[in-house]
A and B are shown apart, each in its own frame.
Chain A
């Protein structure tokens, strides 16, 4: 059984939202259909399934790693070459804090970027059915199914909602 997908193209958000509603009513599972736009519409504009994300964990995780590494780096190097300056302690805490701060932030930023890319489900070199008019303002409603018998039902929903064109891909 092969995975197939169809893409209905709309010029206005309202019919695209109608198509999304129609697919829900026709019994298509949440997650089996999605909307593609060239612009970030307000969340829920198409009644779409909004997946949960864990992006906020990434910077925290990155920051902990960065802080730990920086603590090790700054303290271990000073202890390894213990040079007493002006009778002060070997570990210069204020100077260490600066390096630790920067490395914590750097690691947090890198982890956030990794998180954004991961949570966007990228990179995806086989992104599936698509139409270049989406970045010109058209709205695509894509339906994916394992069961070919449902293609006609999905097409019917998209046509009823006013799709200007339907594309197929297998």
Chain B
């Protein structure tokens, strides 16, 4: 199943946020979206996931999702969005409430998702008892439980410390490798984009337009190797040179607002 951003533009009142953004996320492909602060990255993700109506243009799907997919487009949120009154397993099970499943089927999906994210021993724990990294694992577990075709990840690591971020990034690499899922990965962190994405969509400052689409010239598996580091760093520098001046302008705009 492909996800297509088709000429998407969006305004909040008089404020134009996105301007004619078009790209396609192929089956199993990971596309990162980067750009200066306020360029509409998260807005674009909300539109792609059907949580926000664009002013013009539309998100579209082409092809069928995998037969076992219960929610083809599934979000992983920056702030985890966990129900604080529900345990880890209840949070994961929440995503399955709408599905026509027997209790045993639901239990099997929850168990599998918890196992894949290493949360089996924490299933009866409440979110407040978990660290930030563990909470995001719950968010990922909940997303995996519905067998998504495409994950929509909105800066999923930005609220975490650098060590946890590194560990979760490794988890993402593993999950994306064995899950056959595609993803749209919104981030301001160029290292994350270079490590995880097949292609990187670089947006201009507000209103966000596509400045360039950069293809990462190696497989995800190869990016963990030592000799890949220099290439990835060069790629990050290339993207940074594209957005640096606009990022500075965007920052000044925020300061003067």
Partners in one complex: no
